[in-house]
Amino acid sequence: MLSKKATDMIEYNGYSYKSNDRQILFKKTGTDRVGLIIVMIFSAIIIGIFFAIQWWAGLGALIVAFLIFRPLVKRIPGSLKLAIDLAKQTLELDDRSKSFSFEEIKGVYIHSKFVDEYSSAFKSTSEEHQVTIGLEIENETQIPLFKLVSDHAKPSKEMNEVYEYLKTIISNQEASNAA
């Protein structure tokens, strides 16, 4: 079971978490995507008005909008539905489009990547890092599960807790199979 702080960190990054005796479920919420689509539609209307007034003003607004929205669209991780069935010892991604037994999973990984630099009076650093938690499959394939935002290169205590939680679930189930 995850702590309240780890659950809050997951929710802050746009994921939901539910757990019971048989199943653990993580879902990516679509609020980031919906908000961005609304802003993009509003921007398209304004660009259309600029095109109606002067074509070169509309073209300039289109270029500015492209430069603004391109990095934002790249940062939105896709949809995720991760269901861990403890009874069947399987891990299913995105409504059974990808299903793995615990034996196929070689391990769980966590790594951090520098994304951007910004200025803020509310943050402890001016850096933004993307911390990825994912699975390593037998054939050396890495499947990212969570893309989390951090102010530091080193993953936070809560991010490490999620990593350890997944690692423990998979390794404990494998150990109980071997016994």
Tokens at residue 178, please? 């071997």
Tokens at residue 44, please? 């398209």
CB 99 within 8 A of CB 108: no
| Domain layout of the chain by residue ranges | 4-29+80-178, 32-75
Provide the pairing of β-strand 23-28 with 81-85: antiparallel
SS3 6: helix
What is the chain's pLDDT, residue by residue, as a tens digit (179 residues)?
Answer: 899 999 999 888 888 899 988 899 998 876 667 777 888 899 999 999 999 999 999 999 999 999 988 877 766 655 678 889 988 899 888 755 678 888 888 999 999 888 777 765 565 667 788 899 999 987 878 888 888 888 888 889 999 999 999 999 988 754 455 44
Q: In what order do the strands lie in the sheet with 127-137?
A: 105-117, 127-137, 142-150
